[in-house]
């Protein structure tokens, strides 16, 4: 399985490289090389020996000699001869040789190369192998290169997959005379350093080959319709100042809420940022002895309660009626219910609060505020009480 994985990975590397880079005609840094390398060779773990039944190959070592020729900066070919000795898993070894040819593709600036080819191996039985791999010629001086390669091999007859690692030394020769660097857009900056390779003719450029930006607004002079924008001004794609009608820091072209009130925080779309806040009001109204009449329906506290209900129209309320202790339980229960109902009637008829938002309940004498048996205790216990609470969104301030 690991051998098949290596073959698939190296195949993908070769295909990707040849698709990504078209064949060029540039002169290479050197035209030919001769190399000698040491090789570690690992065989497929299931590859048997025909010579001795029951034994299988393990791994081995070899010495490789190669000669390569570069047609262009990218493309090359080589012939290779390897003297190979492969061990048996249970002891002993077998010697032979491997010869073949490869096509090589060098990445830009000789960063690395991929290769593929055909080999004829004569170790024990002779077999034909297809191989692909990846490598690099490391520059160690003007007259030498360090060779590093890894390759995988596929036996066309038995479907075995081997792999090898190679390290050696190459001597390049036939150096090319370097050509003058190109400047495709004639802006005075050579292609190798030109970050804007399609600059229009006549445009003044900087050291990277890109047109300059005199007012430092991020828009190049060649497209800047407002070339003298003051420093720090936000600009659009044409280099002109962006408008922000409501002064919320979000330009009109991106402002989804163009009339944001002054002094509030906004999000990236220019809309107000809200916090959740809990609002609450509690009201208590006292009644005369044995009476269910709301004596002062226009009392400021009652008016404030009604305004709160109107300000938060999604709220509802439970009006609780209560009595003092004197009297029978049945009588007090009925009186407490009438007190709650009468207060609801005031809210609906006098203040215009929808009846569906108000619920009434009587508790009689079961929830006394003051359990004393004096006149003051009886006075505070004759009451209705109501509490309204809501969670609302409040704009954050800057």
Domain ranges of the chain: 2-175, 277-395
The pLDDT value recorded for residue 288 is 93
Tokens of 134: 């990846």
The pLDDT value recorded for residue 26 is 60
Q: Please give the model's pTM, rounded to 2 decimal places.
A: 0.41
pLDDT higher at 62 or 279: 62
User: What does the alpha-carbon distance between residue 17 and residue 290 come to, in Å, rounded to a whole number?
Assistant: 99
The pLDDT value recorded for residue 17 is 43
pLDDT band at 326 (very low <50, low <70, confident <90, very high): very high
The C-alpha angle with vertex 365 and arms to 340 and 347, in degrees rounded to 5, equals 10
Which CATH number is 2-175 given? 2.40.160.20
pLDDT higher at 204 or 296: 296
Which CATH number is 277-395 given? 3.30.1330.60
pLDDT band at 80 (very low <50, low <70, confident <90, very high): very high
User: What does the alpha-carbon distance between residue 236 and residue 223 come to, in Å, rounded to a whole number?
Assistant: 11
pLDDT band at 14 (very low <50, low <70, confident <90, very high): very low
CB atoms within 10 A of CB 10: 21
pLDDT band at 363 (very low <50, low <70, confident <90, very high): very high
For the chain, the first-to-last Cα distance in angstroms comes to 64
The pLDDT value recorded for residue 13 is 45
pLDDT band at 270 (very low <50, low <70, confident <90, very high): confident
Q: Convert the pLDDT of each residue in 53-73 to its tens digit.
A: 555 667 889 999 999 999 998
The pLDDT value recorded for residue 180 is 67
pLDDT higher at 206 or 293: 293
Is residue 352 pLDDT above 50, yes or no? yes
User: What does the alpha-carbon distance between residue 291 and residue 378 come to, in Å, rounded to a whole number?
Assistant: 13
The pLDDT value recorded for residue 178 is 55
The pLDDT value recorded for residue 227 is 80
Q: What percent of the chain has pLDDT over 70?
A: 87
Three state DSSP letters for the chain: CHHHHHHHHHHHHHHHHHHHCCCCCCCCCEEEEEEEEEEEEECCCCCECCCCCCCEEEEEEEEEEEEEEECCCCEEEEEEEEEEEEEECCCCEEEEEEEEEEEEEECHHHCCEEEEEEEEEEECEEEEEEEEEEEEEEEEECCEEEEEEEEEEEECCCCCEEEEEEEEEEEEEEECCCCCCCCCCCCCCCCCCCCCCCCCCCCCECCCCCECCCCCCCCCCCCCCCCCCCCCCCECCCCCECCCCCCCCCCHHHCCCCCCCCCECECCCCCECEEEEEEEEEEEEECCCCCCCCCCCCCHHHHHHHHHHHHCCCCCEEEEEECCCCCCHHHHHHHHHHHHHHHHHHHHHCCCCCHHHEEEEECCCCCCCCCCCCHHHHHHHCEEEEEEEEEEEEECEC
Place of tokens 């720090």: 232
pLDDT band at 174 (very low <50, low <70, confident <90, very high): confident
User: What does the alpha-carbon distance between residue 125 and residue 114 come to, in Å, rounded to a whole number?
Assistant: 29
The pLDDT value recorded for residue 81 is 96
pLDDT band at 176 (very low <50, low <70, confident <90, very high): low
Q: Convert the pLDDT of each residue in 95-154 to its tens digit.
A: 889 999 999 999 998 899 999 999 998 887 788 999 999 999 999 988 899 999 999 999
The pLDDT value recorded for residue 397 is 72
The pLDDT value recorded for residue 194 is 85
The pLDDT value recorded for residue 3 is 44
pLDDT higher at 390 or 117: 117
């Amino acid at each position: 399985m690991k051998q098949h994985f290596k073959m698939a990975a190296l195949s993908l590397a070769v295909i990707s490289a040849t698709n990504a880079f078209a064949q060029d005609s540039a002169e290479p840094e050197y035209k030919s090389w001769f190399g000698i390398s040491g090789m570690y060779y690992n065989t497929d773990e299931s590859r048997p020996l025909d010579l001795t039944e029951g034994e299988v190959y393990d791994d081995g070592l070899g010495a490789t000699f190669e000669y390569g020729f570069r047609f262009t900066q990218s493309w090359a070919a080589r012939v290779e001869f390897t003297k190979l000795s492969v061990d048996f898993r249970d002891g002993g070894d077998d010697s032979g040789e491997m010869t073949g040819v490869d096509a090589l593709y060098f990445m830009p600036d000789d960063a690395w190369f991929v290769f593929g080819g055909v080999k004829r191996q004569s170790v024990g039985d002779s077999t034909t192998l297809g191989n692909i791999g990846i490598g690099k010629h490391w520059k160690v001086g003007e007259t030498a290169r360090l060779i590093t390669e890894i390759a995988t091999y596929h036996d066309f007859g038995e479907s075995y997959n081997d792999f090898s690692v190679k390290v050696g030394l190459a001597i390049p020769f036939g150096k090319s005379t370097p050509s003058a660097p190109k400047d495709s857009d004639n802006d005075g900056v050579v292609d190798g350093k030109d970050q804007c390779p399609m600059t229009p003719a006549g445009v003044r450029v900087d050291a990277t080959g890109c047109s300059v930006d005199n007012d430092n607004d991020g828009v190049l002079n060649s497209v800047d319709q407002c070339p003298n924008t003051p420093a720090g001004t936000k600009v659009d794609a044409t280099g002109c100042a962006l408008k922000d009608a409501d002064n919320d820091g979000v330009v009109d072209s991106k402002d989804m809420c163009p009339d944001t009130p002054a002094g509030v925080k906004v999000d990236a779309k220019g809309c107000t940022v809200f916090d959740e806040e809990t609002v609450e009001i509690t009201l208590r109204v006292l009644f005369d002895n044995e009476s269910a009449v709301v004596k002062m329906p226009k009392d400021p506290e009652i008016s404030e309660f009604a305004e709160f209900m109107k300000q938060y129209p999604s709220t509802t309320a439970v009006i609780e009626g209560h009595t003092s202790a004197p009297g029978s339980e049945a009588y007090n229960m009925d009186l407490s219910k009438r007190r709650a109902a009468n207060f609801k009637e005031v809210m609906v008829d006098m203040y215009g609060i929808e009846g569906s938002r108000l619920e009434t309940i009587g508790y009689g004498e079961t929830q006394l505020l003051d359990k004393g048996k004096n006149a003051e205790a009886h006075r505070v216990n004759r009451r209705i009480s109501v509490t309204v609470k809501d969670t609302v969104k409040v704009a954050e301030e800057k």
